[in-house]
Amino acid sequence: QVQLQESGPGLVKPPGTLSLTCVVSGGSINSDNWWTWVRQPPGMGLEWIGEIYHTGSTSYNPSLKSRVTISVDKSRNRISLNLSSVTAADTAVYYCVRREFRDRGGRGYWGQGTLVTVSS
Amino acid sequence: DIVMTQSPDSLAVSLGERATINCKSSQSVLYSSNNKNYLAWYQQRPGQPPKLLIYWASARESGVPDRFSGSGSGTDFTLTISSLQAEDVAVYYCQQYYSTPYTFGQGTKLEIK
């Protein structure tokens, strides 16, 4: 049973950088999955941030691309999210998601999420 | 970007009755090579992460009750709950994974009447 655990600072000051980690347990990050970040502002809907494959191949949401970096650490079986120049609009619950290849279903399995508040 | 539009925004249904949620994509999410629609449905209960219900538009995830079903193809999709139970109170989202960014609908809040 693959599990995902997000962690990181709960409070970030603008215009700093938000840095989160997602540890993968019960499975290898080298498996045939995409590792995705999705966020959800309080009381609002879901926004796809981007994803990474274990080879390092990435895809980002154009709306965030200039500020986002997603990376993979195979030795620690984890992925990371960095979001720079944050504002209050980046306040959200950030989720790590394991997504299957689309031709195998494309199913997404979510971590519990971590709330990040951007405030001075 | 593919825009996903759900209707209605909120819905109140009596226990045991049918609930229907619609999702429309701004372009087709049908992948012609394998005739699969790259469309998923998620359920999000308060304070919880989204949970997968349906993938490929109509394939039910293992362990999901069979009162949940998905249908549709191309640009128009439906999630149906055949007999509403109290535990089905949640917000439901559709998501396309045909092309990045993999966009979500705005969500439909389902309540008990």
**Contact residues, chain A, for B49 at CB < 8 Å:** 95, 110-113
Give the largest Cα separation in chain A, rounded: 45
Q: What are phi and psi of A46, to 5 degrees?
A: -100, 140
Neighbours of A49 (CB within 10 A): 23
**Are the C-beta atoms of A111 and A95 separated by less than 8 Å?**
yes
**Pairing between β-strand A11-12 and β-strand A114-118 as defined by DSSP bridges:** parallel
Of residues B52, B93, B95, nearest to A109 (C-beta): B52
CA dist., res. A111 & res. A3, Å (int): 7
pLDDT at A10: 95
| Cα-based distances in Å from B36 to A3, A47, A82, A105 | 27, 23, 34, 9
Q: Smallest CA–CA separation between B106 and chain A, in Å? A: 6
Q: Tell me the residue length of chain B.
A: 113
CA dist., res. A24 & res. A3, Å (int): 6
Tokens coding B112: 């008990």
Helices (H) and strands (E) in chain A, counts: 0, 11
Q: What is the mean pLDDT of residues A19-28?
A: 96
Residue with the two structure tokens 């154009």: A62
User: pLDDT tens for residues B60-104?
Assistant: 999 999 999 999 999 999 999 999 999 999 999 999 999 999 999
pLDDT at B83: 98
Helix (H, G, I), strand (E, B) or coil at A104: helix
Q: Smallest CA–CA separation between A18 and chain B, in Å? A: 20
Spatial neighbors of A118 by CB under 8 A, at least 6 apart, are A11, A12, A13, A14, A18, A86, A87, A88, A89, A90, A91
**Contact residues, chain A, for B34 at CB < 8 Å:** 103
Element (H, E) at A66: none
pLDDT at A39: 98
pLDDT at A120: 96
Q: Give the chain B residue whose CA is nearest to the CA of A62.
A: B101
A64: confidence class by pLDDT, cuts 50, 70, 90: very high
**Contact residues, chain B, for A61 at CB < 8 Å:** 100-101
Spatial neighbors of B12 by CB under 8 A, at least 6 apart, are B110, B111, B112, B113
Q: What is the mean pLDDT of residues A92-104?
A: 96
CA dist., res. A111 & res. A22, Å (int): 8
Q: Is the Cβ pair B55, A106 closer than 8 Å?
A: yes
Identity of the amino acid at B69: S
Percent of chain B with pLDDT strictly greater than 90: 100
Q: What is the mean pLDDT of residues A81-107?
A: 96
CA dist., res. B44 & res. B62, Å (int): 17
**B residues 17..46 contacting A (CB < 8 A):** 31, 34, 36, 38, 40, 42
User: pLDDT tens for residues B4-51?
Assistant: 999 999 999 999 999 999 999 999 999 999 999 999 999 999 999 999
CA dist., res. B71 & res. A108, Å (int): 19
Of residues A61, A102, A110, nearest to B97 (C-beta): A102
**Contact residues, chain B, for A110 at CB < 8 Å:** 49-51
**A residues 1..20 contacting B (CB < 8 A):** none
